[in-house]
Amino acid sequence: MTVLLGYLPTPEGDAAFLAALGEARRRGERLVVVNSPRSGAPVSTEVAPDTAVRTMTARAEEAGVELELRQAAHDGDAADEVLRVAGEADASVIVIGLRRRSPVGKLLMGSTAQRILLDADRPVLAVKP
């Protein structure tokens, strides 16, 4: 089994990475990081820069956790991609970062995190920075 992290290079994503790394180490499982840009986007701020990837890799090695980074572009909604990979990787838990949003903001714009929390068929650990 694996711990699955839905990652964006943000303070919320970094906090979620640390929580996911701790979970993977505690459970003795590998860590799969989904950092997938939307297909067809000319430039994506969702893709982790090389420095962030190197930092995550080094921290995983220090913790003795096997890390797999998935950055292949996806079609559709990011929540669907995280849930798809969770099933494919047989994730024991999904870890995501949360940011503060007003109820009106959630209503008007939706929430990837909210969709993952509601639609996941396995436990979800939601982390704030």
Express each pLDDT in 110-129 by its tens digit. 588 889 999 999 999 999 98
pLDDT grade, residue 108 (50/70/90)? Answer: very low
What span, in angstroms and rounded, lies between the C-alpha atoms of 33 and 19?
12
Digit-coded pLDDT (tens) for 44-103? 557 888 999 999 999 999 999 999 999 888 787 889 999 999 999 999 999 999 887 666
Question: What residue segments make up the domains of the chain, in order of their start?
Answer: 2-42+66-103+113-127
Mean pLDDT (whole number) for 9-32: 96
Nearest to 121 by CA among 82, 87, 79: 87
Distances (CA, A) of 67 to 19, 56, 83, 121: 14, 8, 18, 23
CATH number, domain 2-42+66-103+113-127: 3.40.50.620
pLDDT at 99: 82
